[in-house]
Amino acid sequence: IGATVIDSLDTLYLMELKEEFQEAKAWVEESFHLNVSGEASLFEVNIRYIGGLLSAFYLTGEEVFRIKAIRLGEKLLPAFNTPTGIPKGVVSFKSGNWGWATAGSSSILAEFGSLHLEFLHLTELSGNQVFAEKVRNIRKVLRKIEKPFGLYPNFLSPVSGNWVQHHVSVGGLGDSFYEYLIKSWLMSGKTDMEAKNMYYEALEAIETYLLNVSPGGLTYIAEWRGGILDHKMGHLACFSGGMIALGAEDAKEEKRAHYRELAAQITKTCHESYARSDTKLGPEAFWFNSGREAVATQLSESYYILRPEVVESYMYLWRQTHNPIYREWGWEVVLVSLGEILSDRSRFLRDPRRVQ
């Protein structure tokens, strides 16, 4: 419990919501206990709990955040007890003991590939090299394994070290793996050449085999299933505009302008997924087929669950270009979201079944 509290610590601090921050800090000190039972996602615990605690520590210097982050990181280590060192996706905590990794046929690229930033900091703050060793081994396995056309499939066996199936996506199941590569390069002060090389090699493969332009001129990143493309893009994949913009500066000189334009075009496509929806909020996934572009074609994908990826790309593009269109697009999302909230509140207040 408490994921939202911990994940919000840095936001509360940066927004100078001092009372709320102190309340959250007190909860971490008094109520965030690690002697718990039950299962937890290695990935979610890392990015939300450990990431939140580390951010809070670096912003404030408060020891409670550092200590809790390290102790929680130690609780995750049993997930790496596999023949390859590729961690399994779920850890079960037992009171007073380290957890144990549950069985499972495959590990997910976006999950085991999104540990590097936090685990390097755990080593730096604790002096314990085990955290860094675990994530460096993941890189070693990924560098060694043969990749179809240079692409990284989404599922890998932690037992055999082989790809389980050839499904490639820059959206769900793959997304943050690529994000962590470019951010590892930047976080290292541009010394982590392995991360840099892996990022640009992967981006070149993505551009060669997944990138498409629709008949209407919209640039999108399709999904790849054993050589066959699904001409759709998930909302989660819309972070890629910002990521490509972020990485453009350190690309080969002749590619920098190209990557900046590519980032802008992908972000434009993601904006279109919002503009073409009835609510003006983007769907979970949108397709490019049968003459329809950047729209959801299935009811199961026609929903919005406060995903931030599109607005995140607006922010990166604004910071890089200062083109006011990105601020305008971001403000549109605020206004539409606020309108939906007020509309829901109005319907609630008018509901005769409401408790008086």
By annotation, the residues acting in catalysis are 44, 175, 284, 309
Q: Tell me which DSSP letter residue 215 carries.
A: T
Alpha carbon distance 246, 198 (integer Å): 15
In a 10 Å sphere around its CB, with 0-12 CB exposed, 13-18 middle and 19+ buried, how is residue 309 labelled?
buried
Indicate the pairing of strand 97-101 with strand 90-94. antiparallel
- What's at 56, amino acid-wise? A
Token pair for 219: 């640039």
Q: Which two tokens stand for residue 72?
A: 């929680």
Going by C-beta distance under 8 Å and a sequence separation of 6 or more, which residues neighbour residue 302?
283, 284, 296
Q: How far apart are CA 72 and CA 125, in angstroms?
A: 13
Q: How far apart are CA 232 and CA 234, in angstroms?
A: 7
